[in-house]
Structure 1
Amino acid sequence: MHAKSLVVIDIGSVQTRALLFAQVEDRFRFVSAASAPTSLRGRDPDVAMGVLYALEHLSRLSERPLLDPQGSPIYPERADGAGADRYLVTLSAAPPLRAVIGGLSPDWSLASLRRATAAVPVQVVSTLSVVATDGRRPTEEEWLSALVEAEPDVVLIAGGMEQGAARPVRALLETAMLAARLRPEDRRPLVIFAGNASLREEAVALAGREVPLRVLPNVRPCPEAEQIGPVVEALEARYLERAAGVLPGLSLVQGWASASMRPTARALAHVVRYLSLEAPERAVLLVDLGGNQTTLIAARAGALAQVVRHGSGVGLGILPLYQRRGGEAVTRWLPREISLEQLEAFAWMKALHPATLPQTLEDMWLELAFAREAMAEAWETMTGLWPELSRPTIAFEPILLTGGLFAAHARPGALALAVLDALQPVGLTTLLWDPVGALAGVGALAEVEPGLAVEVLTGRLWIPLATVLAPALEGAVAPDELLFTVEVHHRSPEGATATYEIEVRGGRLEVVPIPSRGETELRRFRLRRPVDLGWGPRRAPRRIRIAGGLLGLIIDGRGRPLQWARDPAARREQIARWLWDVGALGGSL
């Protein structure tokens, strides 16, 4: 029997969200959302308190009591409408796992392990390879020293195609087991073996009863096949198991849930995979940017690529992000000059007070400059692990935007520009905005009630932010050079028509408002120089129907990759012009 109501609790590093889904008339729908600070700071950290505050807030907003007089969640739903049938929990607030990976070949087994660890909050602290990058073969003593020094939570060993090499993989396993036994029993890492199947029994014998071990299918059984899914699931389970031991109050929250807790990224991946299966010919991209974690998930025909970067965001993760990217990378996105001292002061303020919202335009520009670097870093990681995603032929449709950053800003143009700057998509795409973080809830719902999740998604719980047309250009483009013209043709529901001719110039963004009602088409493309609009070089459709959104249509004529002016003052003028084009330069917040 389907649930009539369901609450999803998403515990982030800064905010805890509570999302209510319920049967409303003849459909299962997203009803309401509320949030409260995640109670991980102060003298008595307790994530359960943040959850209860979020549920109390949700009760007031939805006019549905969710807590009993003793302060516990009410379930199942009562006859008077109080409570909910099920409570689910997703989590991204826990610190990442420390991992050591070991394998034979950097291009095969180790590459597969890197893709697996990228999909989970994992920090790879050391890599053991039979053949080092300089061609030298490390000794087993060097492997042992690296394992002891790393103090990992998990050790992953792979390598050897099926019926392939066994001896060097056996040496890696023996060294990993020895290093684990050198640590106190309660601090021994989980060893995951996902290599040559002929070594499975030996791995079990080497571990004995002293070393925790998971034996999984070979991540690389042959050159043409990769199966990292079981490794990702094992890492997620270890992440959640460890989280229960380091986050006070989490075990209590788990007791309220009617299904196993899941990482937030896994819940979001369900949504992305479903949307990619709806239209297998296109790729879907999701960006989840929070206070301490940035996640990118791409999918095409159900095949996932996923990157979770912990210590990257606009809250607690802003300081490690700043240390990795540097002040020059951040300030290149600002329209006004700022000293490194001011930049560092802002970063420290956000790290100490991650829930604060921008109060001025300057604060907004600074926060979104850091957000650009967080997204760009995650995108660089993703395209490094999955190079095929960086090809100009890959156009993402749609791009979904969720997470704390996208819930904290009231300037849609500024958000859209930050995404275009960081990811630099090509072709025709749609930006879909999830300002309340509901997508994680839908993904959690999909694990227990997939039919209801599809019903919620059919209702399109996101806000269309803009349709974007971003041509790829051959060679450098001169400022204000005419690239092409296009007619925007709109027909209202009453039958009235309007046509606008748009001139698209180099280095500029054109924002064309489009009414939310009626039908809009792009017609009569006239190319004035070689460009690729997403249909191949120097090709354009006769007409194509597009949707609008809060911003309407954005035509990005800046080219790919973006070209900055070399002179700092000229670059700031360039950034100011881009902000002006999308309505994010003047006024007040």
Structure 2
Amino acid sequence: MTAVPGAPDSPAPPLTVIVATDCGSTTTKAILIEKIGDEYRQTYRGEAPTTVEAPFEDVTRGVLNAIAEIEELSGRKILDGDRIITPNRAAQGDPKTGVDIYISTSSAGGGLQMMVTGVVQNMTGESAQRAALGAGAIVIDVLASNDGRLPHEKIERIRSMRPDMILMSGGTDGGAVTHVVEMAEYVAAAEPRPRFGATYKLPLIYAGNKDARPQIASVLGDKTALVITENIRPVLERENLAPARDKIHDVFLEHVMQQAPGYKKLIDMAGAPIMPTPAAVGVIMETIAKRERLNLIGVDIGGATTDVFSVFGGVFNRTVSANLGMSYSISNVLAEAGLANIMRWVPFTIDEQALRNRIKNKMVRPTTIPQTLDELQIEHAISREALRLALIHHKSLATALKGVQQERTISDVFEQQQSGRTLIDMLKLDLIVGSGGILSHAPRRIQSMLMMVDAYEPLGFTMLSVDSIFMMPHLGVLSTIDEKAATDVFVRDCMIYLGTCVAPIGQGQEGEVCAECEIAFPDGRTVREPLKYGDLKRYPLELGKKASVTLKPAKTVNAGAGPGAAVTREVHGGVVGLLLDGRGRPLQLPKDDAARVAALTKWFNAVGLYPTCDQ
């Protein structure tokens, strides 16, 4: 494997030309990043079908095809047959040949599918789930001693699921070992076989009570490829997820990916460890949040799954809703949200059966795109529910530690605070980042912005942005070797700032004044007008420009500083601008069908969401 330039033991010069690929389940996407002056920019992009299945059964074919497209567009010679030319030959006077490093991420073959075990389901079981999700896995089941399943049911479940890897946790260091060993015996009895590769043992990472390690090794050492690491819950009051996450990445690279067609060649081609795509997206989200000191929520909504990432107070969490997506899983969105919740976002009257048929057609033909405005509005309605449900799922897992005793004051009793509360505080949220086809490729950017505003109902002052062409995975793996290059490209080429949403918290009768607003624009103009319940207003505010917004809310309305308290904040512009949302929080749509359609039509027309909603 090529040495990573810039590593402590490498005298190589800084990176100037980088090629990165993301091997998805259907498409392999390649980007070229070059240093221009003092900053890094994404310059060319290519893509090709992923080639893990027959007749090719070699993932590197798709990679080389995608890079060949970059070669053609850029005029740079990158390939020498089936080999990527590294390092860049600029030092030898040949500036248009080769690249400094090739890096990649992958979710081909269905991504990394894991099963996790714990002793107590909502304690060590949840900690293990957070560790696996943070490493980029899809968690297909959580087994625990107290999950209500009988021993034979657990054994059958382990045997039938065929995960790529198992993560075992359980017990604090120095505690009882009985239940941890019991779970190991269930795994041993199941003798699980991995999805890929008939000749190798299933990787199993043990990250539980250190006192149980000898017994775990005795029970599972011969039946699995056992890896032992630090306890993810050494004491009740603290989680230690990083060592387990690192081991998951290592085992994914060394065992799981070695079994998939062509991955051994891909690993040899790459100049840095290959990462699971969701893990790489999480890395760049976490990097940006810490660099800018932001609380953020990121979402990647795909055809089969919806990933949600959050960083609050420096704490990173990721969840994957494996049954919520916009094509393969679109019927699951219908089942989980219910037809009424989807129909409430459709700005025209439609027969229930006709809507069901359109949703089923999308599942049957997942690669189709909307051909009419009606079809586009229906897809956008479904996406709002997928995003909303995925955030609810995320909030339930992104929590403070459960089972921890806390000192309490009398005020805590009245506030009903307890361990296990969600870490997601929408009033402290600074930025929402959207990604995935429905958001990145919406015909108009205001459509992406309002989908996220309607689904997430941000409170107070919140910035929104989208990933322009889905290059966050490439930048995530790049950030592990050159953070400046990754953040330069993320800010300048990847992230498209949509603008700021200002949403007071409270409810009232339509037409009543929610807050008095004063907006001081950078060109010297000042707008003073009331924001009424039921209003949705959009003001142009260019990217890179700032305005000062003062809200004087009604007595029962909270603009972020408490009921009735005035707030003045500096807001950032974007390609959409400034959105004032007076529809109330929590957001409630009219129950009557005609009133709902009228309200949606008014809102959508007010912000220019579609060419026309008067149907």
Q: Please tell me the TM-score bracket, short chain as reference.
A: 0.7 to 0.9
Letter paired with 1:502: E
- Report the Cα distance in structure 1 between the residues aligned to 2:383 and 2:78, rounded to whole angstroms: 35
What are the within-5 Å matches in structure 2 for residues 419-568 of structure 1? Answer: 419-457=452-490, 459=492, 461-473=494-506, 476-492=507-523, 497-516=524-543, 519-523=546-550, 525-541=551-567, 543-568=568-593
Residues 427, 470 of structure 1: 8 Å contact kept: yes
SS in 2 for 1:531: coil
1:311-322 aligned within 5 A = 311-322=323-334
Q: Is the 8 A contact 1:21 1:32 kept in 2?
A: yes
What code does the residue aligned with 2:68 have? E
Paired residues of 2:46 and 2:66 also in contact (CA < 8 A):
yes
Correspondence for 2:296: 284
- AA aligned opposite 1:574: A
* Distance apart, 1:484 and its partner CA: 0.7
Q: What are the ranges of 5 or more consecutive residues in structure 2 without an aligned counterpart? A: 1-12, 400-420
What does residue 102 of structure 2 align with?
A: 87
AA aligned to 2:123 is: W
Contact between 1:483 and 1:529, CA under 8 Å: does it hold in 2?
no
- Trace 1:185-584 onto structure 2 (pairs within 5 A): 186=199, 189-239=202-252, 244=257, 248-280=261-293, 282-351=294-363, 353-387=365-399, 388-389=421-422, 392=425, 394-457=427-490, 459=492, 461-473=494-506, 476-492=507-523, 497-516=524-543, 519-523=546-550, 525-541=551-567, 543-584=568-609
CA-atom RMSD, angstroms? 3.1
Query: Aligned partners of 1:582 and 1:38: how far apart in 2?
Result: 39
Q: Measure, in 1, the Cα distance between the counterparts of 2:340 and 2:61.
A: 40
Cα offset for 1:340? 4.9
* TM-score, normalised relative to structure 2: 0.84
Shift in alpha-carbon separation, 1:288–1:131, aligned structure 2, 3 A = closer
1:578–1:107 CA distance, 2 compared to 1 (3 A): same
Distance (whole Å) between structure 2 residues aligned to residue 15 and residue 181 of structure 1: 31
Partners of 1:393 and 1:12 in 2: CA distance: 32
In the TM superposition, residue 72 of structure 1 has moved relative to its aligned partner by: 4.8
Pick from 81, 86, 92: which aligns with 1:75? 86
Residue segments in structure 1 that go unaligned for 5+ positions in a row: none
Bigger shift: 193-202 or 31-40? 31-40
CA offsets 1:238-271 (integer angstroms, 9 cap, x no match): 5556764675444444443222211122222222
Amino acid in structure 1 at the alignment position of 2:516 = T
Deviations 1:108-142 (A, max 9, x none): 11121232333356454544332346xxxx65445
Take 2:60 and 2:193, find their aligned partners in 1: how far apart are those partners?
36
- Asked if the contact 2:468–2:493 (Cα under 8 Å) also holds between the matched residues in 1, the reply is no
Is the 2:514–2:533 contact (alpha carbons within 8 Å) kept by the matching residues of 1? yes
Instruction: Give the counterpart of 2:186 among 158, 175, 183.
Output: 175
| Aligned amino acid, residue 144 of structure 2 | S
**1: CA distance between counterparts of 2:224 and 2:272?**
29
Q: Is the 8 A contact 1:240 1:263 kept in 2?
A: no
Alpha-carbon distance between aligned partners in 2 of 1:546 and 1:478, rounded to the nearest angstrom: 28
8 Å contact kept, 2:440–2:448:
no
SS at match of 1:472: coil
TM-score, normalised to structure 1, is: 0.87
Instruction: Call closer, same or farther: CA 1:537–1:278 in 2, change over 3 Å.
Output: farther
Q: Contact (CA 8 Å) 1:576, 1:585: kept in 2 or not?
A: no
Percent of pairs identical after alignment? 26
- Structure 1 residues 265 and 96, CA, compared in 2 at 3 Å: closer, same or farther? closer
Deviation at 1:224, TM superposition (A): 0.9
Contact 2:48–2:65 (Cα < 8 Å) also in 1: yes
| 8 Å CA contact retained: 1:194, 1:216 | yes
- How many residues in Structure 1 have an aligned counterpart in Structure 2? 574
Q: Kindly indicate whether the alpha-carbon contact (under 8 Å) linking 2:504 and 2:553 is maintained by their aligned counterparts in 1.
A: no
Stretches of 4+ moved more than 6 A in 1? 40-43, 181-185
Q: What SS does the aligned partner of 2:122 have? A: coil
Equivalent residue, structure 2, for 1:586? 611
Judging changes above 3 Å, is the alpha-carbon distance between structure 1 residues 393 and 249 closer, same or farther for their aligned structure 2 residues? Answer: closer
Contact 1:96 1:239 in 2 (8 A): no
Relative to structure 2, which stretch is displaced further, 544-553 or 314-323? 314-323
